[in-house]
Amino acid sequence: MSFTDKKRFTKDFTLQEPINDQGIEKALAILKSGKIHRYNVEPGEKGEAALLEEEFAAYMGKKYCLSCASCGSAMYLALKSAGVKPKDKVLCNAYTLAPVPGAIENSGADIELVEIIDDYAIDLDDLEAKAPGAKWFMLSHMRGHITNMDRIMEICNANNLTLIEDCAHTMGATWDGKQSGSFGKVGCFSTQTYKHMNSGEGGLLVTDDPDLIARAIIYSGSYMLYERHTARPDMDVFESLKTMVPNYSCRMDNLRAAILRPQLEVLDAQCERWNKRYRLLEQGFNIIQGITCPKRDPRENYVGSSIQFSLIGQKEETIRQFLNGCMDQGVELKWFGNEEPVGFTSAYSSWKYFGKLPDLANTRRILATMCDMRIPLTFSMEDCHQILEIIKDVAQSILK
């Protein structure tokens, strides 16, 4: 029997779990009150956005937190608030999603892309070679792959690089016991639907720097109401900044914060649910001939909400046949080797607003055979077994 004769997978790879009952109740209370705007609170009342900031700062072990409209806006505010100026050089790994270079471009800075290596993490040797002359480093923990953060910090300290972490895919993850997003001057997180907490759109920014968070709060659009933030420094920190920092209107509202607060309470348990599914799939992929899932460092406590693998040595035509064969059976895979950006994938070659794009041979080689698959928690362990069987059958039929 051929793989086309087997049972087709019918679940949706974009379907997330429903918002939990506590989140729905909090959201309804906000809707009934009409106090959706974060500053629409009674004297002495803490709004949902302020409470979320307090709770996420505590979860991260950081002093300050700002809730934002998106992770992209959090990254932009982080860059501006840290002091990035037009034409400053910002280093960034070449394997990331479009909002990351978009935030750097929005700040007016120049972007220099850094190669990646076969395990999809940033090439630390290339980073070290490009660090001299740069002041800033936006490290994207793309698709949840955390590199050796000990060496990252050595390179940053040796070259006076200010580290800003894009943790859109690593909320709840750690490196050697330390929270992802707590290494740099700023950590930026996403609460977009396909991330680890879901408010549709949203972002969170954490830092221990009082001046930076004060600038970020004013930039985000506080209308001189920054005293209603409670995960902030003393009010006198704002005095010299309040008329010097523009309003970019990047706030989160109380409705989204209300949905997120109950999700934060169960975040660690949700992360372990993702990892159970990831480990099953990883083990299965690594015994399928023609498929390679890179080994992960034991110091990396990742959150496996998606999985990546490579079809090393396969030609483009074969990869397309493999992807189409899986899709025919209901298994939706993304491919980072596509010449044109498709959906949530993108390769640096499509960021033509850079002007002259670099030629990053290793990154091109690695992305050319890289496949990507979401692992929504709406999939059971049995679903993961079925997906493995489908991919195995297609691989045996098509991959040479």
Q: How far is CA 400 from the centre of its chain?
A: 34
Tokens of 21: 């009952």
pLDDT of residue 342: 76
3-class DSSP state of 297: coil
Q: Is pLDDT larger for residue 366 or for residue 341?
A: 366
pLDDT of residue 213: 98
Tokens of 124: 């630390």
CA angle (213 as vertex; 160, 175 as ends), nearest 5: 55
Q: What is the mean pLDDT of residues 12-29?
A: 97
pLDDT of residue 1: 43
Q: What is the mean pLDDT of residues 65-72?
A: 98
36 CB-near residues (< 8 Å, 6+ apart): 30, 253, 254, 255
CATH ID of 3-18+267-398, from 3.40.50.620, 3.90.1150.10, 3.40.50.970, 3.30.420.40: 3.90.1150.10
218 CB-near residues (< 8 Å, 6+ apart): 226, 238, 241, 242, 245, 247
pLDDT at position 3 over 60: no
Residues of the chain with CATH 3.40.640.10: 21-265
The whole-angstrom separation of Cα 283 and Cα 278 is: 8
Q: What is the mean pLDDT of residues 59-71?
A: 98
The whole-angstrom separation of Cα 196 and Cα 207 is: 20
CATH ID of 21-265, from 3.40.50.720, 3.40.50.300, 3.20.20.140, 3.40.640.10: 3.40.640.10
3-class DSSP state of 139: strand
Tokens of 106: 């929005």
CA angle (256 as vertex; 37, 29 as ends), nearest 5: 75
pLDDT at position 400 over 80: no
Query: What average pLDDT does the chain have?
Result: 95
pLDDT of residue 2: 54
Residues of the chain with CATH 3.90.1150.10: 3-18+267-398
The whole-angstrom separation of Cα 142 and Cα 48 is: 29
pLDDT of residue 5: 58
Q: What is the mean pLDDT of residues 126-152?
A: 97
pLDDT at position 343 over 80: no
Tokens of 242: 């309040």
Q: 185-195: per-residue pLDDT in tens?
A: 999 999 999 99
Tell me the pairing of strands 89-93 and 136-140. parallel
DSSP 203: E
pLDDT of residue 376: 98
The whole-angstrom separation of Cα 35 and Cα 170 is: 31
What ranges in the chain are assigned the alpha helix state H?
21-33, 48-60, 71-82, 99-106, 124-130, 149-159, 210-221, 254-265, 267-285, 316-328, 361-367, 381-398
**Amino acid of residue 351:** W
262 CB-near residues (< 8 Å, 6+ apart): 20, 22, 23, 26
3-class DSSP state of 348: helix
Provide the percentage of residues in the chain whose pLDDT is more than 70: 98
4-8, 107-111, 210-214, 356-360: least confident range: 4-8
pLDDT confidence bin for 335, thresholds 50/70/90: very high
pLDDT confidence bin for 116, thresholds 50/70/90: very high
Q: 258-289: per-residue pLDDT in tens?
A: 999 999 999 999 999 999 999 999 999 999 99
The whole-angstrom separation of Cα 195 and Cα 136 is: 26
Q: What is the mean pLDDT of residues 314-337?
A: 96
pLDDT confidence bin for 357, thresholds 50/70/90: confident
Q: 231-257: per-residue pLDDT in tens?
A: 999 999 999 999 999 999 999 999 999
The number of beta carbons lying within 10 Å of the beta carbon of residue 3 is 19
